[in-house]
Amino acid sequence: MAQIDARARSMIATFRQLGWRDGAWHACARLLQAVPGQRCALHRYRFVAQPVAPGSLCRGRGKAIVVAPCLSPQDLPAGPPRPRAVLEQRYRQGAQCLVARVSHPAPAMAGWLWLLRGACQEDEVRARYLLAPQASWDLDVWVHPDQRGALVLARLWEEANAVLHAQGVRWSVSRIARANRASLAAHARLGAVTLGWATFLRWGRWQWMASSLPPYLHLSRHPGSFPRFAFDARILPATPTLEIPCHKPKP
């Protein structure tokens, strides 16, 4: 009985946070997650573009947080649980991983952020994202739970901005789970604009997709079949500088 009460309280809290419509979608996703063999899944994404411009998010703060690229999967520190094959596939696509470490009280992994130019093959669903030359893809932004509320996320984005701007990138595009309100809010504080949405339903080898962006609808029956989304950041307005103060954004 206590377990049932805990689940009910958790469901009520979810509906309060997400609202009834998104809460119902989230409940459906959790039910499909429980199907044996991970044969079914429901993913709802929002696509956003974040400006890349010279400037400092931390204004000299957070110097104890060191951000540096990690060049191979063998050198990745222990982080969030990700299949090894997924991490290796990111490197094969040409992705760059920026790793944040705190220098005291002892050197430790604090977070990471992945960047990818040109095109990105999605690792949760069957989909491919194509980008214009002045755009990059950012994915899997993660901050250690003990460091959330600190300056780790801001330092990661500060370094990512410097790296991408030096490459001529002016917008960084990403997909965010629509239930991840914290991440959506963090991107909004950094100036992100919404490009569209997509919903994927997988049932066995079948995958259905509906989106506000071309190709709008897609049906896939095998791994070689997937929708392609073209994000042209050149139509977005130019953002010459970052005027965003560092308020310890949450992941």
Q: Percent of the chain beyond pLDDT 90? A: 44
pLDDT average, residue stretch 14-43: 75
The bridge status of strand 108-117 relative to strand 206-211 is: unpaired
Per-residue pLDDT of 83-141, as tens digits, reads 899 999 999 999 999 999 987 655 678 999 999 998 999 989 999 999 988 899 999 99
Per-residue pLDDT of 188-240, as tens digits, reads 888 889 999 999 999 999 999 999 999 999 999 999 999 999 998 777 766 54
Cβ atoms of residues 46 and 213 within 8 Å: no
**Could you tell me the two tokens for 83?**
């299949």
Residue 29 Cα distances to 24, 26, 35, 40, 101, angstroms = 9, 5, 10, 9, 34
* Closest C-alpha to 251, from 172, 199, 159, 177: 177
Residue 227 backbone dihedrals phi, psi, to 5 degrees:
-75, 150
Residue 241 backbone dihedrals phi, psi, to 5 degrees:
-140, 160
**Could you tell me the two tokens for 19?**
């609202």
Give yes or no for residue 245 having a pLDDT over 50.
no
Torsion sign over Cα 28, 30, 35, 37: positive
